[in-house]
Amino acid sequence: MNIISVLLVDDHTVVRSGLKALLGTQADIAVVGEATSGEEALEAAQEHQPAVVLMDLAMGAGMDGIQATKKLRQRSPKQAIIVFTTYDSDADIVRAVDAGAMGYLLKDAAPEEIFAAVRGAVQGKSVMSAPVASRLFQQLRNPDEILTPREAELLSLLTEGLSNRDLGKRLFISEATVKTHLAHIYAKLGVETRAAAIATAIRREGMR
């Protein structure tokens, strides 16, 4: 029997203890390490070389789960990372998938769902909680759904390389209003820069 090694990354001791006990009921799954932060996750992954990492998103100060996922994927592209979180917003889901997560589970997932996700991940399967999969599928079908019509229009204009002042003139709004819309767009898309927003806009156009 091949044993699937798992690293647990969560800043809550109760969550890690519960997960460890739950996974310990399965003969083919073994928890080989634990971490309470993104930084610890990188160290633990280097030390234990787990087949699967169960990664929380928000872990207080320091590196969050998204950043840790990106770094782990860069270092070990074949390592399977499953986000295990209470957050199910569109932006969080997209950020996790873009970072390289193979799965996205909510913390209220049934034990059988968690077991299946761990086993599926080592086989290269993407496993998501039903509500998450539904929202992601809906977003792929309607990529502008999370943005207001004005935000979608502004995002499209960003690809033309217009300055905030030019965007305001094009849309007949003030430069301050442009900045407010951009802040909302960045938050909804889970990006921090204009370049990242433009890359997302271009990718969305390719989905149409």
User: In sequence order, what DSSP letters do the residues of 10-62 get, joined into one string?
Assistant: -S-HHHHHHHHHHHTTSTTEEEEEEESSHHHHHHHHHHH--SEEEE-S--SSS
- In this structure, the answer to whether residues 127 and 190 fall within a common structural domain is no
- In this structure, the answer to whether residues 114 and 154 fall within a common structural domain is no
Judge whether residue 65 has pLDDT over 80.
yes
Share of the chain above pLDDT 70, in %: 90
- In this structure, the answer to whether residues 40 and 135 fall within a common structural domain is yes
**Residue 207 pLDDT:** 46
Q: What is the mean pLDDT of residues 99-120?
A: 91
Domain-ending residue, one of 140, 174, 195: 140
Specify the long-range contacts of residues 94-100, CB closer than 8 Å, at least 24 apart.
94/136, 94/139, 94/189, 94/190, 95/66, 95/190, 96/57, 96/65, 96/66, 96/69, 97/136, 98/190, 99/66, 99/67, 99/69, 99/70, 99/73, 100/69, 100/70, 100/72, 100/73
- Positive or negative: CA dihedral 174, 153, 199, 132: positive
- In this structure, the answer to whether residues 175 and 116 fall within a common structural domain is no
* CB-based contact 58:87 (threshold 8 Å): yes
Q: Report which residue type is found at 67.
A: Q
Q: What is the mean pLDDT of residues 69-94?
A: 87
- In this structure, the answer to whether residues 176 and 202 fall within a common structural domain is yes
**Residue 131 pLDDT:** 75
pLDDT digits (tens, 9 = 90+) for 8-51: 999 999 999 999 999 999 999 999 999 999 999 999 999 999 99
The enclosing domain of 196 has a CATH number of: 1.10.10.10
- In this structure, the answer to whether residues 165 and 135 fall within a common structural domain is no
Domain-ending residue, one of 120, 140, 160: 140
| Confidence band for 91, pLDDT divided at 50, 70 and 90 | confident
> Please, what is the average pLDDT of the chain?
86
The enclosing domain of 95 has a CATH number of: 3.40.50.2300
**Residue 84 pLDDT:** 94
Distance CA 50, CA 43 (A): 12
- In this structure, the answer to whether residues 133 and 155 fall within a common structural domain is no
Share of the chain above pLDDT 90, in %: 50
- In this structure, the answer to whether residues 25 and 74 fall within a common structural domain is yes
Q: Which domain holds residue 127?
A: 4-140
- In this structure, the answer to whether residues 95 and 187 fall within a common structural domain is no
What domain count does the chain have? 2
- In this structure, the answer to whether residues 168 and 185 fall within a common structural domain is yes
DSSP character at residue 78: T
**Residue 138 pLDDT:** 59
Domain-ending residue, one of 140, 169, 186: 140
Question: What pairs with residue 55 in β-bridges?
Answer: 9, 83
Judge whether residue 94 has pLDDT over 80.
no
pLDDT digits (tens, 9 = 90+) for 129-181: 877 766 665 555 555 557 778 888 888 888 777 889 999 999 999 999 999 99
- In this structure, the answer to whether residues 88 and 52 fall within a common structural domain is yes
Judge whether residue 119 has pLDDT over 90.
yes
